[in-house]
C-alpha cells in the first residue's frame, strides 16, 4: 500500500470525527473543530486523487467514513447494535476492499504492459 492510500485512510478517519461533530457539536469551539476537520479531510482526499483513481478513492473514503461512523456511534455514543446493521456494514467493507484490490490489480497489469 502506498502513501496515497494511507492518506485516504487518514482522511476517512478524520471524516468520522467531523461527521460525529455535525451531530454532537454544541459550542462555537466544537463547531470550529468540526469545520477544521472537514477542511483537512477533504484537502487530504483531494491531494490523494491527484495520484489515485478518483472513483475508487471516493468509494473507499465514504465506505470507511460510513463504517467508522457506525462503529463510533456504537462504542462512543451507545447507539444500539442491530445485527442487520452489522451485516450491512460488513457487506459495505467487503465491497470497498474488493474495489481497492481490483483497482490495484488493474494498475499492476497496466504497468506490466
Classify residue 70: in a domain, yes or no: yes
pLDDT band at 30 (very low <50, low <70, confident <90, very high): very high
Classify residue 112: in a domain, yes or no: no
Q: Which domain holds residue 72?
A: 3-107
Classify residue 82: in a domain, yes or no: yes
The DSSP code sequence of 15-43 is: HHHHHHHHHH--SHHHHHHHHHHHHHHHH
**Structure confidence at residue 112 (pLDDT):** 62
**Structure confidence at residue 42 (pLDDT):** 95
Classify residue 88: in a domain, yes or no: yes
Classify residue 58: in a domain, yes or no: yes
Classify residue 60: in a domain, yes or no: yes
Please tell me the total count of domains within the chain: 1
Task: Calculate mean pLDDT across residues 7-20.
Answer: 94
pLDDT in tens, 64-112: 999 999 999 999 989 999 999 999 999 998 988 888 788 776 666 666 6
CA distances for 42 relative to 3, 22, 74, 82, angstroms: 16, 15, 25, 31
What percent of the chain is modeled with pLDDT above 70? 91
pLDDT at 34 over 80: yes
Task: Calculate mean pLDDT across residues 49-70.
Answer: 90
DSSP annotation of 80: P
> CB under 8 Å to 88, separation ≥6 — which residues?
none
User: Rounded distance, CA 108 to CA 82, Å?
Assistant: 39
> CB under 8 Å to 63, separation ≥6 — which residues?
12, 92, 93, 95, 96
Classify residue 17: in a domain, yes or no: yes
Whether this prediction's pTM lies above 0.85 is answered by: no
The full 3-state SS of 81-100, as one line of letters, equals CCHHHHHHHHHHHHHHHHHH
Amino acid at each position: 500500500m502506498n502513501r496515497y492510500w494511507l492518506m485516504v485512510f487518514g482522511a476517512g478517519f478524520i471524516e468520522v470525527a467531523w461527521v460525529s461533530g455535525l451531530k454532537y457539536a454544541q459550542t462555537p469551539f466544537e463547531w470550529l473543530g468540526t469545520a477544521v476537520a472537514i477542511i483537512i479531510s477533504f484537502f487530504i482526499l483531494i491531494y490523494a486523487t491527484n495520484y489515485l483513481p478518483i472513483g475508487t478513492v471516493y468509494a473507499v473514503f465514504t465506505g470507511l467514513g460510513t463504517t467508522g461512523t457506525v462503529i463510533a456511534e456504537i462504542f462512543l455514543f451507545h447507539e444500539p447494535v442491530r445485527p442487520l446493521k452489522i451485516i450491512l456494514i460488513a457487506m459495505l467493507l467487503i465491497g470497498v476492499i474488493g474495489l481497492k484490490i481490483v483497482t490495484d490489480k488493474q494498475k499492476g497489469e497496466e504497468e506490466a504492459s
